[in-house]
Structure 1
C-alpha cells in the first residue's frame, strides 16, 4: 500500500524536473505545459472523495487494485504520448487512477490495524508523504539526465509501469479480502457534483493563476468555489437530516480532534509544499544548481521527517502533549533560519543542512501526532469518510502552499532591485521563508488535538 502511495506522490513532483525537456520535444505551449504538470494534480484532488466512497461501496482491496491498474496503464500511455494533447489527457487519467487508489490506503490501515500497530502504520504513511516529495525531484533529475536510449523525458512516466505491474501482482496476493457485504450507501451523486465543482473551481486557478498573472477569471473561480462549497454543505446537512447517506457523514466531522487535525494537516502540507517550491526555485534559478543537486539538498528534511514519523510514539510520555505545538514552533524557527542563512546569495554552509533537518523535525511533529490521534476516534464504518476528507485536505494544502508562497516569492523576485539575479532571488526567498514561519505559528494556536485510546 505504501509503495503505491509513494509512486502516486512521486508523480506530483517528478514531472516538474522534466518540464523543459517535454516542452522542447513536443513543442508544447506555455499553457499546454502547465496542463501537463497540473492536470494530474487537478483530477487527483477533485476525485479523492469519490475514490474514498467507491472503496466504501465496492471494497477497498478491489478499488485499490483497480486504481493501481488504471494508474499504471495511464503512465504507459503518458510515456508513449506523441503530442501535448495526448499527454494532457493521459495525465488527467493518471490523476484519476491515483484518486481511486490513494484513499484506500488510509481506509485499509483503519480497518486492518489496531492499537500500536495502527500507530506504526500511520507513522510509516507519514514518512512516505515526506520522502516522496523530495524523492520526486531527485528521481526526475536522474532519469532526465540519463536520457535512457535517447528517450528524454519519457522514463519519468514509464518507470511506473514495471513498478505498477509488480505491485498489482503482490497486492492481489497480500491485500486483505473485502467483506462480502459492502456498505449499501449510495454515491450521493448531487453531493459529488457539488463538491467536484467546488474543488475544481478552487484548484484550477491555484495551479494556473500564477503563470497567467492572476487574471480576472482566476479570482471569479475562487469566489465561485466558496459558493459551491456552501451549497455542498447545505445539501449534505439536509440529506443527513432526512436520513439519507451524505458524501461525508456529519458524525465524522464531530469526532474529537478531527477539526483541529484538518487545520493542522492543511498548514503542514501548505508549509511543506511552499518550502520545497520556493527553495527549489531559488536553488535552480537563483544559484544555478542542477535538479539532482537541488533534490539531494532536501534529503535531511525528508529523512528526519520519516524518522520522526516512525518513532515519535516512543518518546517520553511527558513530551507527548506538547509535540504538535513544539513541532510548529520548530518549523517556524527553522524556516526563518533557512531564509536568513541564504539571504546573502550564498549556499548557506553546513548550518543550512541543520536548518533543513529542523524543518523536517517540526513538520513531522505537526503532522504525525495530529493524524494518528484524530484517526484514533474514527470507527471502521467511517474509515472511508475520514480517509477521503484527510487525503483531500492533504492535496489542497499542497496546492495552497505552492500557489500562495510561490506567488509571494515570484512577486518579490520581480520587484527586487538587486544588482544580481542571485541576490534578488535570495531577497525574495527571505520574504517567502518569513511568511512560511508566520504560517507555521498558526499551527501552535490551532487548538489541542485530543488523544483517543
Structure 2
C-alpha cells in the first residue's frame, strides 16, 4: 500500500515543506480528543454528583452541553476555516479546547462546569472541521484513502476509549482529584499539539474575500439547535411537549434556511453551503449511508453499555472493555479495507452493510436471555465491527472524492456534521427504543429482551444504509 509520505501534493499557497505523516498524527490527535470528550464524562457522572452535589438536570447539562454546542457549530467552524485559514483556525480551536478543558477540570461548581463544557464543545466545533479540510488539501490518491481510513479508525476509537479511559481515571482517583482528570488529561496533550502545530501545520491562507452569509449561519445554527437539544435531552426528560415543539420549529427553520440559501445564490452571493457541494456526485447518498451507520453504531454502543451496567451489573470499566472488540474491529477494517482484493472494492460498502443488519439481529438473539457476554457474542461483535468499517471508510472517500479542493471546507463541514448528527440521533432514538422496552435497573433477562428489540431496530437502520450505499460508486 502507498505510504503516507508518497503520492501527496503540496497544498496551493502552502509555505514550507509539509510532513504528511506528522501532520496527520497532529490533526487526528486533536480530532481524537474532541471525540473522547463526548463519552469520557459519562463514567464520571456519579463522582461529579457526589462531589458537587449536582442535581439530575445539572448532570444532564454537563453531558449534553458539550454535544449540543459541538453539533450546532460545526458548519460555522468549517466556514471560519475557509475564510481565515484552516491551520490558523485549527490552532485557535485547539488552544480554546485546551483552556476550556483546564477550566472544566478546575470548576468549583456545577454552574461553572456546565458553562465551561459549552465552551469546550464550541472550541471542538472550531477545531474538528479543519481536520478533514487539511486532509483534503494535503493528500491525494492512495495517500488520501489511507488518511481517510485513519480518520475512520479515530472515530471508532474515540467512542470505545472514552468509556475505558474514563473508568480508569476515575477509579485511580489521582491525588484525590476524583472526576477532574477526565478533563485535565486534555491539557498536556493540547499543549504538545499546539507546540507541534507551529512547525507542522501548512501555511494555508484563508479566502478573505469569501462571503460569510451571516443570515444562513444564524438560521442553520438555530435549526440545528432546535433539532439537537430535544434529541439529546428528550429521553431523559420523558419527551415533554416543548421538545416536540422544538423539533417542529427546527424542521420549519431548515425549510426557511433552504429558501434563503437559494435566494442568496440566485443573487450571485455566496451561500453558507454552495449548491455545487451538495450536487457533487455521490456526496448525498454517501452522507445518508454514513448518517445511518453512525446512528446505528452509536445507538448500539449506548444501549449495550446500559445493558451491561444496569442489567448485568458490570462496572463502567468492564463494560468499556467488553465493548472493545466491535470498536477495535471497526477501526482496523476502516484502516485496512484496501488490502482486500481490488475486485471487491466497488461493492464493499453494500456487502459490508448487508452483513451487518442480520448480524445485529443474531447478536440480539444471543444476548436476549440475559446471560453473560461469552466468546460467541464477542466473535459476532468483532465481525460486526469489521463489516461496518469496510463500509464506512470507503463511503467517506466516495462522499468527498469528487469535491473540488476549493470546496473542501464546506464539504468537510457537511460530512462532519452528518457524522455528529448521526451519533446524536442514534443515541436519542435507539436509546429511547431500549429504555422504552425496559425499566432500569432491570433483571438480566428483561434487559436482554430490550437489547434484542434494539438490535432489530439497528439492523433496519443498516439495511437503509445499504440502500443509500447502492447509489454511490467509487472515484474513477
Instruction: Pick the TM interval, shorter chain.
Output: over 0.9
Partner SS, residue 215 of structure 2:
helix
Give the aligned partner of residue 311 of structure 1.
336
Residue 424 (str. 1) matches residue 450 (str. 2): no
Counting only pairs closer than 5 Å after superposition, residues 392-411 of structure 1 correspond to structure 2 as 392-411=417-436
Cross-structure match for 2:260: 235
Q: Structure 1: where are the runs of 5+ without partners?
A: none
Whether 2:451 is the aligned partner of 1:439: answer no
Q: Which residue of 1 aligns with 2:384?
A: 359
1:197 to 217, 222, 231: 222
- 1:168-209 per-residue CA deviation (whole Å, 9 max, x = no partner) reads 111111111113x62521221100110011000000001111
Q: 1:255 is paired with a residue of what secondary structure?
A: coil
Counterpart of 2:471 (choices 443, 448, 453) is: 448
Which contiguous aligned blocks of 4+ residues in structure 1 show a shift greater than 3 angstroms?
none
Q: How does 1:202-221 map to 2 (within 5 A)?
A: 202-221=227-246
2:248 alignment counterpart: 223
Looking at structure 2, the residues matched to 222 and 366 of structure 1 have their Cα atoms a distance apart, in angstroms, of 30
What does residue range 65-214 of structure 1 map to in structure 2 within 5 Å?
65-179=91-205, 182-214=207-239
Aligned 8 A contact 1:373 1:451 in 2: yes
SS at match of 1:82: coil
Distance in structure 2 (CA, Å) of the matches to 1:311 and 1:346? 33
1:444 Cα deviation from its structure 2 partner: 1.7
Long gaps (5+) in structure 2: 1-26
SS where residue 454 of structure 2 aligns?
helix
What CA distance in whole angstroms lies between the structure 2 residues aligned with 1:330 and 1:141?
A: 32
1:24-47 deviations in Å (ceiling 9; x for gaps)? 111111111100000000000010
Worse-superposed segment, 169-178 or 136-145: 169-178
2:312 to 287, 290, 307: 287
Corresponding residue for 1:259?
284
Count of residues in correspondence between the two structures: 449
- Does structure 1 conserve the Cα–Cα contact (< 8 Å) formed by 2:360 and 2:455? yes
Structure-2 separation of matches of 1:7 and 1:342 = 32
Distance between the aligned counterparts of 1:297 and 1:322, measured in 2?
31
Q: Please report how far the alpha carbon of residue 325 of structure 1 lies from its aligned counterpart in structure 2 after TM superposition.
A: 1.1
Question: 1:301-333: CA deviations, max 9, x gaps?
Answer: 122112111111232122112111112122212
Distance, in Å, in 1 between the alignment partners of 2:304 and 2:362 is: 13
State the alpha-carbon separation in 2 of the partners of residues 353 and 406 from structure 1.
21
> Could you tell me how far 1:374 is from its partner in structure 2?
2.0
1:209-242 residue CA offsets vs partner (Å, 9 max, x unmatched): 1111001000010111100000001100111111
> For 1:373, which of 398, 420, 424 is the aligned residue?
398
1:47–1:99 Cα contact (<8 Å) kept: yes
Report the equivalent of 1:248.
273
SS in 2 for 1:185: coil
By how many angstroms is 1:337 displaced?
A: 1.9
Tell me the residue number matched to 2:22. none
Q: CA deviation at 1:84?
A: 0.6
Q: What is the Cα deviation at residue 415 of structure 1?
A: 10
Whole-Å separation in 1 of the counterparts to 2:391 and 2:54:
40
Q: 1:62 to 1:415 in 2, by over 3 A?
A: closer
- TM-score, with structure 2 as normaliser: 0.93
CA contact (8 A) 1:374 1:452 kept: no
- Kindly tell me: are residues 183 and 316 of structure 1, through their superposed partners in 2, closer, same or farther at Cα, counting changes over 3 Å? farther
Q: 1:72-121 CA deviation, whole Å, 9 max, x = no partner?
A: 00000000001110000000000010000000000000011111111110
Conserved? CA contact 1:330–1:361, under 8 Å: no
Match of 1:44 in 2: 70
CA distance in 2, matches of 1:74, 1:59: 22
Name 2:24's counterpart in structure 1: none
Comparing 21-30 and 36-45, the one that deviates more: 21-30
Shift, 1:291, TM fit: 0.8
Q: Is the 8 A contact 1:331 1:361 kept in 2?
A: no
Of the three residues 430, 433, 437, the one matched with 1:412 is 437
Match of 2:301 among 250, 257, 276: 276
For residue 362 of structure 1, report the CA deviation from its aligned partner: 2.3
